[in-house]
Chain A
Amino acid sequence: MSDNTLTPDLAAAPIPVREVLPWVLFGALLLLALYFVGAEEGATSVIPGMYVHEFVHDGRHLLGFPCH
């Protein structure tokens, strides 16, 4: 805060929260993508069968998710 008082033009201006908020919805979509890579057809399942689980199997193990 104080170290840039001599150059106020260079102060980091935060982006207003109301501008960030609508994009949180998009963030939720990204979380859903993470769910499908990391946890679908493990403890919980949306799509029947084991295809998603088996397809991303190696990535799931290596990314650190509990697999089977």
Chain B
Amino acid sequence: MVRTLLIRGLLVGLVAGLLVFAVGKVVGEPQVDRAIAFETAMDQAKAQADMAKGMPGRQAEPELVSRKVQASFGLFTGVVVYSAAFGGLFALVFAFAYGRIGNLRPRAVSALLALGGFVALYLVPNLKYPANPPSVGEPETIGLRTGLYFSIMLISIVAMVLAAMAQRRLASRFDVWSATLLATAGYLIVITLADSMLPAINEVPDGFPAVLLWQFRMASLGMQAVMWATIGLLFGALTERAMESKFRLSAQGLVHPVVR
């Protein structure tokens, strides 16, 4: 049962990955290229200024992986592995959540989990530490930035799970609508507190085009929205369909409906 769900999750994640790659290629790559052009121009300007002052110019670093490979196979591998992995993890969470977050149909459970995943694992961490194009970010602070990014992600997902558990408790006392609003408010309070306590990071270099930064971040948001929407809706639809045949048998008294 769990095995079937897991395989379905991985396959749905794979499909999502192909769509994310298409969005990334069309919407994301032009912004990456522009950001790299900005970086190159800055480096050249700096090298020329150094030369004028009589200092030795910095040698350009050799390219380990060509831009062409980075923008095709590299991007493809990155987003497909990422999406398939999330598809699999999503299936495991679904296997646990189904029947435990209220009497909801599989497609509703799937859609809600995907919405929760998108908000907790991408939207909230990125409101605090947004995605950055090349040339934004000091190499020396990578340790700090990585630590902070995963910290807010961890706080966010733990708060989301606690909110979901609280919603269940509250739903037995109030109605589901009020319970959901209270749990959501609780999540937002935790996130607002974490947001105000964690340090801000701004490493956008002077002169970096604001429009390019916005477009890059919107491309990143779009890719994530496509991935979570595909996983949530496709996984839900397929699981629902697999269950409906069970329901038909169940109506004939042949088998008790279980999710698979």
Contacts and interface: CB of A to CB of B under 8 A. Distances in A.
A27 B87 CA distance: 10
Given A24-B92, A33-B85, A34-B82, A58 B1 contact: no
Contacts of B105: 12
Contacts of B122: 64
B219 interface: yes
A12 to B, nearest CB: 4
Contact of B65 (A57, A59, A63): A57
A57 B89 contact: no
A23 B89 CA distance: 10
A39 B104 CA distance: 36
Nearest to B3: A23
Contacts of B38: none
Given A15-B1, A56-B77, A63-B223, A27 B92 contact: yes
Nearest to A50: B64
A66 B148 CA distance: 10
Nearest to A44: B146
B85 A15 contact: no
Nearest to A65: B149
Given A61-B132, A63-B131, A43 B104 contact: no
B99 to A, nearest CB: 3
Contact of A59 (B82, B147, B257, B259): B82
B77 A55 contact: yes
Contacts of B102: 1, 12
Contacts of B143: 43
Contact of B139 (A23, A64, A68): A68
A3 to B, nearest CB: 7
B74 to A, nearest CB: 5
Given A1-B102, A9-B250, A68-B142, A23 B95 contact: yes
B133 interface: yes
A33 B259 CA distance: 28
Given A3-B103, A12-B103, 13 more contacts: A9-B256, A15-B2, A15-B95, A30-B86, A33-B82, A39-B146, A49-B64, A55-B70, A61-B131, A62-B79, A62-B223, A66-B146, A67-B142
20 contacts: A3-B103, A11-B103, A13-B256, A14-B98, A23-B2, A23-B92, A30-B86, A33-B82, A39-B146, A49-B64, A54-B70, A55-B78, A57-B65, A58-B78, A59-B24, A59-B77, A59-B79, A61-B216, A62-B75, A66-B146
